[in-house]
Chain A
Amino acid sequence: MFQILITLLIYMVLVIPIGIYLYHVATKQRTFADPVFDRIDGMIYRICRINREDMHWKTYALNLLMTNAVMILIGYLVLRLQGLLFLNPNGIASMEESLSFNTIISFMTNTNLQHYSGESGLSYLSQTAVIIFMMFTSAATGYAACMAFCRGIAGRPMGNFYEDMVRNTTRILIPLSFIAGMLLIWQGTPQNFHANFTVSTLEGKWQDIAAGPIAALEAIKHVGTNGGGFLGANSSTPLENPTIISNLVELYSMMILPGACVIAFGNMIADKRKKEGKKSLFGRQGRTVFAAMAIIFLIGVTVCFAAESAGNPVLAGIGLNQDMGSYEGKEVRFGIAQSALFTTTTTSFTTGTVNNVHDSLTPLGGLVPLLHMMLNCVFGGKGVGLMNMVMYVILAVFICGLMIGRTPEYLGKKIEGKEMKLVAVCLIIHPLLILGFSALAVSTAGGLAGITNPGFHGLSQVLYEYSSSAANNGSGFEGLADNSVFWNLTAGIAMYFGRFPAIILQLAIAGSIFAKRRVNETVGTLRTDNVVFTLILVFVVYIFAALTFFPALALGPVAEHLTIWFPGLS
């Protein structure tokens, strides 16, 4: 636990300056890097002749959808034709329709659920022109939507979609990925365009060792909270993640931007106060949100670590010493602590990269990632988690408003029927996708065919797949035999509807709040920047999740936990 705490402390030191940089980029204030990036961006605007005026939220959303649709179409074509195209030294064949559909939706929605294995499923052209490309653009898209949302909530014009896309890519994603990529290469992640290597082993056999532009993909995979690995076993492989240092680099690169988003949000809201001479690193409103996310995260990581350290009682029962903890599916160089931390992080920050096998986590250790994807607001993927958390904030304000008998207000704007309806729809989509599709899967032959673990764990596999899809996370209980038409299509649909309707609704809410008149703060106004509200927020999130998901969780991981720890019960 000690090393987990130190790791998180260092994170706090890193996230604040990046958050402030992000705030400056999002609000077009001066940064140290302007002399370089202004030229690059200026050149891009000239080539594209992009009109950079502010957009209405509807225009913003339509341009976002259109751009993503064009990218989906091009990516789909590359996957279908990769066998015939260039940059394919390992002779990979083209991908079939339902898998291509699933893959392209998966990467465009920033999910990165993978029903293929990178080693045998993709050519180097697809790895770069589809996977790396989508990793950048889906992250830039999510982040653009989030910043437009924050601007709207903070009472600023919502901005221009294309300008946001370009600025996010050139000023944030590419520089950070380049730095992370160089650190990974230094630690031993390959970066080349060779065919796979074959060596002769000490015992006279042959061994194949995967090659390719692994570091380039790894870097943006984490910086953009994408999560889809170059290789089948993702960041547990020593090629993607060779050392504990590379593990920390990957951990920080996926944590940095979602946390920084909250700080940028807080600073945008706090602008008015700043003019009066008050300074704070987070902004008071940002601090509330950040603290609530941090509390839920810490509870999660503690439970996961404790459960994994306790080991597997079934193996203890047959005489295998469990005092190191549960090692099935874990790597020795990471051990229990860094595996538990990575697992909680990848699902809280909705990245989906894994450094251990989630299917083999202990039942309660596996419940944490599952729950955090169901909550989908504990930092969350680039921008989207913050937007979801603001939905919960509005819900909390509304509930409190009802209790004290006042019209709810947030940030000086009245929350009324229209916003509450949008928030309710937005919050209901996610559980509807997860529970609806899980019910469909366990009641059809196509769905049942994918389950590979018997008993309660089988249900956990199904729940995990759809939670991961709907939360646009992308990690998996990988035992699930999910490359079938049923799973490719249903997971593809869950990913699509988990992403775009929520973004559009949230932009609509921001647009609606932006258009409202400001009301003056009075003594009776519910304060949203103190400890009490932080705690209320945490409770609202947990209660909402408990009401929605508890029955499903009780039948999956909780039941599995009880059967292996108390075999007398069943």
Chain B
Amino acid sequence: MKLFMKYLKNAVKCTVVLGVLCTVIYPAALTLAGQALFPKQANGSMVMAVIDGEERAVGSKYVGQQFEDSRFFHGRISSVNYNCYTQEEKEDGSYGGVASGSFNYGNSNPDLKTRVEADMAAWMEAHPDVKQEDIPSDLLTASGSGLDPHISVRGARVQVGEISKASGLTEEELNAIIDNNTQKKALGIFGEEAVNVLGCNLEIANRLGILTLK
């Protein structure tokens, strides 16, 4: 019993000291250093724009956004609608708060097949000039996080025709916008080329006069 109390005392002391080190000193030091050196990133990399003369945050550089307007590029399928919602959806509870994730369908799950078939039919209807085999698979599959900010370069090019018709911008302009927002492979080796959808759409909105980019 005496030995038990001795061990217990040591264990409590150890817990308290490590607790102070790991949960007070470490996060505090990282927060201070992060906020001092990289204040923008540490606070969510918000993108600012002027809408109706008022400057406000319209999104985060690294978080995808839901797009339905045919003048904009559309991103990937999201199981959480990119945490985008209207006032009504929040009030009636169909938006349940900030989340992330995917559908978790296995390859053999019939629900996956049904979902892709339905999305593909809708997509073909909206883009009658595109051949089905030219749709790259990232456009009709769900991202892992539900917040993927990117699509593949092919996924962007294949949308240009319809966006040009709807927005009045020329295909050359749109292709240039894609190039501006394409992130190359790191050092030419790592990762994949990816187009930031929000970045593209902000430029489109800027040209259409919906907002002014800061």
Contact = CB atoms under 8 A, between A and B. Distances in A.
Contacts of B151: 332
A517 B205 CA distance: 79
Interface centre among A177, A209, A318 (most CB of B within 10 A): A209
Nearest to A476: B104
A70 B43 contact: no
A454 B110 contact: yes
Given A7-B190, A133-B22, A192-B42, 20 more contacts: A63-B7, A67-B15, A117-B99, A192-B31, A193-B31, A210-B98, A314-B113, A325-B137, A328-B141, A329-B102, A329-B142, A333-B183, A334-B192, A356-B144, A359-B104, A362-B107, A453-B104, A454-B110, A560-B108, A563-B108
22 contacts: A119-B98, A162-B10, A174-B21, A178-B30, A201-B65, A207-B66, A216-B26, A216-B30, A236-B144, A315-B141, A318-B120, A321-B135, A328-B142, A329-B142, A330-B141, A332-B76, A333-B150, A337-B192, A356-B144, A360-B107, A363-B107, A479-B106
A455 B106 CA distance: 10
Nearest to A185: B34
A112 interface: no
B58 interface: yes
Given A318-B116, A320-B120, A6 B189 contact: yes
A203 B67 contact: yes
A360 B150 contact: no
Interface string B128-161: 0000111111101111111111111001000000
Contacts, number: 397
B143 A332 contact: yes
Contacts of A47: 13, 17
Interface centre among B22, B97, B155 (most CB of A within 10 A): B22
Interface in A56-95: 62-63, 66-67, 69-71, 74
Given A232-B100, A238-B64, A560 B26 contact: no
B167 interface: no
Interface centre among A117, A119, A190, A191 (most CB of B within 10 A): A191
Given A314-B107, A564-B108, A237 B41 contact: no
Interface string B31-70: 1011101100111111000010000111111111111110
A324 B152 contact: yes
A67 B83 contact: no
Contacts of B190: 3, 6-7, 244-245, 248, 338
B21 A170 contact: yes
A132 interface: yes
A560 B27 contact: no
A321 B10 contact: no
A311 B137 contact: yes
For chain B, the bracket of interface size reads 35 or more
Interface string A235-274: 0111100111101100000000000000000000000000
B94 interface: no
B135 A478 contact: no
A137 B133 contact: no
A228 to B, nearest CB: 14
A208 B51 CA distance: 19
A401 interface: no
Contact of A199 (B31, B46, B150, B191): B46
B102 A208 contact: no
Interface residues of A, number: 126
Contact of B147 (A192, A202, A238, A360): A238
Interface of A: 2-3, 6-7, 44, 47-50, 62-63, 66-67, 69-71, 74, 117, 119-120, 128-129, 132-133, 136-137, 140, 162, 165-166, 169-170, 174, 177-178, 181-182, 185-194, 196-197, 199-203, 205-211, 213, 215-216, 219-220, 231-233, 236-239, 242-245, 247-248, 311-312, 314-315, 318-335, 337-338, 354-357, 359-363, 452-457, 460-461, 477-479, 560, 563-564
B105 A359 contact: yes
Contacts of A166: 14, 17-18
B104 A48 contact: no
B63 A186 contact: no
B91 to A, nearest CB: 12
A231 B44 CA distance: 14
Given A117-B99, A190-B44, A199-B58, A206 B85 contact: yes
Nearest to B44: A190
B65 A202 contact: yes
Nearest to A456: B108
A545 B132 CA distance: 44
B126 interface: no
A247 B82 CA distance: 21
Contact of A236 (B116, B145, B210): B145
B122 interface: no
B191 A335 contact: yes
Interface string B148-187: 1111100100000000000000000000000000010110
Contacts of A71: 15
B108 A206 contact: no
A233 B22 CA distance: 24
A202 B140 contact: no
Given A177-B26, A238-B148, A328-B105, A194 B63 contact: no
B214 to A, nearest CB: 14
Contact of B11 (A69, A244, A479): A69
A450 to B, nearest CB: 12
B42 A318 contact: no
